[in-house]
Amino acid sequence: MFRSSVLLLAAMACLVLALVQAEPVSGPAERTAERAAAAGLGVYVALRSVNAALSVAQEVELGGSFGFSANAQPLKVLEPIDDTVERVAGAVFSVALLAGVLAIGVGPVSSLGFLLLAAGLAIQAMRGPLERGAGAVARPLCRAGSLSNMTGLLLAVLLPLSLALGGTLGTVVTQQKWDSAMAQVSAVEAQSKQLLGVQEETGGSEATGVLGQVRGAIEQAGDYGEAVGYYLAEADDLLKASLTLVAIFLLRTLILPLTLVAVMVALLRQMARQ
């Protein structure tokens, strides 16, 4: 009798948690996912700034008229780097979107888990009277109650707990690599914005006469040559840093939480067998 009363009280508590979307349980997981999504969007904006600078630079034409006309696009050699940065930015956005979905969905999923847990606990509380009154007919219902408890515990507690712990653990073990990679991306982003400023200043200057055109062409060639050299020198580090950030995002939002879920489920099964 005492056991049945405790199980019914636990079922009522689970029902209340389901109605409030399990905020005490899912709250830490939601905040962890929100921080991951915000960080992902920051990286995405930085990479898109680099992408925009590279795209604009490729369209700049260097030309002159010395008895004949000639035009060239000296930064077109940066197109492979531009395409790769764009793809990496898309990957970062996808991971940030995943983190945003987790931030929104963990509450409703946890609520569903508590509803299943409430139903399973209520069945367990009435198991004795059901078996005495219905006999063998009650066994499938009791098995369904046990399965409901296992599934509910997974969705209501283990999943949010794994998301929160996985994100926190991932932040602790990857913070140094994160800071280093982010510093690299931020440096290239700042240089990209400066490059756009140089292009605007150069494009706005007008030179008259043959000597003026020659001087302007030489200055433009020097500016663009410096930009090409910078991007070619930093391309490997930029792409490596970008891929490192993507890997860290996946580790924090997906790999570590799923690993923790698998470990917890294995422990739960072992406890249930004993």
The more confident residue out of 173 and 213 is 173
Quote the strand ranges of 10-93, DSSP E.
Answer: 62-65, 69-72
pLDDT for 137 beyond 70: no
User: Residue 115's pLDDT band (boundaries 50, 70, 90)?
Assistant: very high
Which pLDDT score is estimated for 207?
Answer: 45
Question: What Rg do the C-alpha atoms of the chain give, in angstroms?
Answer: 30
Long-range contacts of 68-76 (CB under 8 A, 24+ apart): 74/221, 74/224, 74/225, 74/228, 75/224, 75/227, 75/228
The more confident residue out of 70 and 193 is 193
Compute the distance between CA of residue 190 and CA of residue 230 in angstroms, rounded to an integer.
12
Identify the bridge partners of residue 70 per DSSP, sorted by sequence position: 64
Residues 26-35: tens digit of each pLDDT = 888 888 889 8
- 60: region left, alpha or beta (phi > 0 left; psi from -120 to 50 alpha): beta
The more confident residue out of 271 and 106 is 106
pLDDT for 153 beyond 70: yes
Which pLDDT score is estimated for 74?
Answer: 57
Compute the distance between CA of residue 163 and CA of residue 30 in angstroms, rounded to an integer.
8
Handedness of CA 203, 205, 206, 210 (dihedral sign): negative
Going from N- to C-terminal start, the domains of the chain cover 2-273
**Residue 73: burial class (beta carbons within 10 Å; 0-12, 13-18, 19+):** middle
Average pLDDT over residues 230-258: 86
Residues 54-96: tens digit of each pLDDT = 777 666 555 544 443 445 555 676 778 888 888 888 988 998 8
User: Which residues have C-beta within 8 Å of that of residue 91, sequence separation ≥ 6?
Assistant: 246
Share of the chain above pLDDT 70, in %: 75
Write phi, then psi, for 63 (nearest 5 degrees): -145, 175
Compute the distance between CA of residue 169 and CA of residue 184 in angstroms, rounded to an integer.
23
Which pLDDT score is estimated for 95?
Answer: 87
Compute the distance between CA of residue 241 and CA of residue 248 in angstroms, rounded to an integer.
10
pLDDT for 106 beyond 80: yes
The more confident residue out of 5 and 128 is 5
Average pLDDT of every residue of the chain: 78
Which two structure tokens, joined as six digits, stand for 149? Answer: 């408890």
